[in-house]
Amino acid sequence: MKKSPEPATRGRPRGFDRDEALSSALTVFWTKGYGDASMADLTAAMGVNAPSLYAAFGSKEDLFREAVRLYTDREGALLWRSMGEAPTAREAVEGLLLATAAVSGQCGRPQGCLLTLSGVNPDALPDTACSEVKQVREDSMAAMADRLRAARTAGELGPTADPAAMAAFYLTVQQGMTFRAREGATPEELTATARAAMLAWDGLAGIA
């Protein structure tokens, strides 16, 4: 007797690719924001119906939280590579700013930073999602400050340098660059901003 084919997973279409669907959802959230991303927007981009979305990801909030983690893993690794690989703290910070400028010109990529844009209107996010976004931003600040503390210990920065203040300054610049990218600033304009910010390095580092 010929065996019948196995039925598709309940609530999901045949050929459903969860990773691809999550990537599509990320693009929607990144482009429209959590509050303005409707279920119709999400299901259309992901190629699934609402029951399939709920079966695979739970709620809209759960989907957003997974999208944030994907964004952090994918985009964060790209932008923050210099923080772990650059031989000096100055090159690490400059590399982050220049990478931020460079990605703003990539075709087919939403402009701006999902985390920064989400933080502008925290009331649009459920509490748990809002806390996760805030934690990622705080972790980024801590990571840069730690890199700068290590640089001060190694003698790259002067003894009067304040790693936390330097991290706050350069991440404020970086986040501002993402807003300008959202508004249409070119990679060349953002690169000029990055170069200008680095002119403050010696003074902030206590080596002027």
The pLDDT tens digits for 63-95 are: 999 999 999 999 888 889 889 899 999 999 999
Fold adopted by 80-208: Tetracycline Repressor; domain 2 (1.10.357)
Are domains 16-75 and 80-208 of this chain identical in fold?
A: no
pTM for this one?
0.86
3-state secondary structure of 74: helix
Question: Among 180, 152, 141, which Cα is nearest to 90's?
Answer: 152
Query: In the chain, which residue ranges form alpha helices assigned H by DSSP?
Result: 18-32, 39-46, 50-57, 60-79, 81-85, 89-103, 114-120, 127-153, 163-182, 187-198, 201-205
Q: Are 136 and 74 in contact (CB under 8 A)?
A: no
Q: Which of 111-115, 140-144, 198-202 has the lowest mean pLDDT?
A: 111-115
**Secondary-structure class of domain 16-75 per CATH:** mainly alpha
Domain ranges of the chain: 16-75, 80-208
